[in-house]
Amino acid sequence: MLRWLGWIVFVGPLFAQAAGNELLAQKTLGKLAAMDDRLDGTMGVAAVDLTTGERLCYHCDTWFPTASTIKVPVLVEVVRLIRAGKLSYEQRVPVSQSEVVPSSAAYAKAAAGPGALSVRELITIMIQNSDNSATNKLIDLAGGFAAVNTRMDEMNLPGIRLRRKMIDLQAARADRENIATPRDMARLAEMLYSGRVLDAVSSREILEFMGLVEGDVRKAVAPVGTATKTGALDGVKCEFGIVRLKNRPFAIAVFGAYLDGESPVPGAAKIVFDHFRKLDRANAAGRFLE
């Protein structure tokens, strides 16, 4: 009887040990922490395993400036209005030179030429070219800040806030910055992947626009496919979206602020990609099967 009790005491802790993938996650978070220690600024990272739902979180509940990544939440509300029949992709929208703000080459060209763009064209240059005038126009068409933020609240994404238009330095100086947590931006990407942003068709259309973006994440994971949105401001670099690994696709959000040097996006994306590539190649026990 004593021998059985001893065996039970010995084996019990063995089965309570962490799973191999948990140890791998701890090491990955350690790599992100080591990178953060070398970074001249701050960073937050969130990732979601789109196969299992498991998550990585490194300062992922901290607010960061969104820069142009906020353009995807704007797009979500525009697509909702399209689905509701209040807008259409082919609807022509007047554009003028008086609306042009910096980083709006495509918009300025249209304003000087035909003087109108379709909603589809506005979306395309907002996402692919990060055109700021197109974004401001789409914010107006979407119904303004409140409409976009209400949509995020209804999607249970309160960590995403649109509080100013593009290139509004006065608003930024008044601390009305567009902000988000990496956790909620990664959750938005996760919802897009699973077809839960409005509906499956709308989610797919939004990801198709994001697939036009060639950012740092795409470079870090090549040749694996991506659908992301980049963002950059003085002292700010960020990117979020999905990486389409064959067996282990994942959502990722990397945000950096107070940056005097390099962007954290390429390095963090590579660390997270290496984590999921190991899971992609291995069985549950950690044996590579390639």
> Could you give the percent of the chain with pLDDT greater than 70?
93
Which is nearest to 278 in space by CA: 46, 56, 45, 8? 56
Give residue limits of the domains in the chain: 22-62+181-290, 68-178
Question: Buried b vs exposed e over 128-163: b needs ≥16 C-beta within 10 Å?
Answer: bbbbbbbbbbbbebbbebebbbebbeebebebbbbb
CA angle 244, 126, 237 (to 5 degrees): 65
Cis bond leading into 223, ω under 30°? yes
Please compute the mean of the pLDDT values over residues 261-289 and round it to a whole number.
94
68-178 under CATH 3.40.710.10, yes or no: yes
pLDDT confidence band for 284 (50 / 70 / 90) = confident
Q: Does pTM surpass 0.95? A: no
pLDDT score at 19: 64
Question: Is residue 10's pLDDT more than 80?
Answer: no
100-120: per-residue pLDDT in tens? 999 999 999 999 999 999 999
pLDDT tens digits, one per residue of 51-103: 999 999 999 999 999 999 999 999 999 999 999 999 999 999 999 999 999 99
What count of other Cβ atoms lies within 10 Å of the Cβ of residue 100? 20
- How would CATH label the architecture of 22-62+181-290? 3-Layer(aba) Sandwich (3.40)
Domains 22-62+181-290 and 68-178 share a fold: yes
DSSP 8-state secondary structure symbol assigned to residue 124: H
pLDDT of 207-227, one tens digit each?
999 999 999 999 999 999 999
Q: How confident is the model at residue 290 (pLDDT cuts 50, 70, 90)?
A: confident
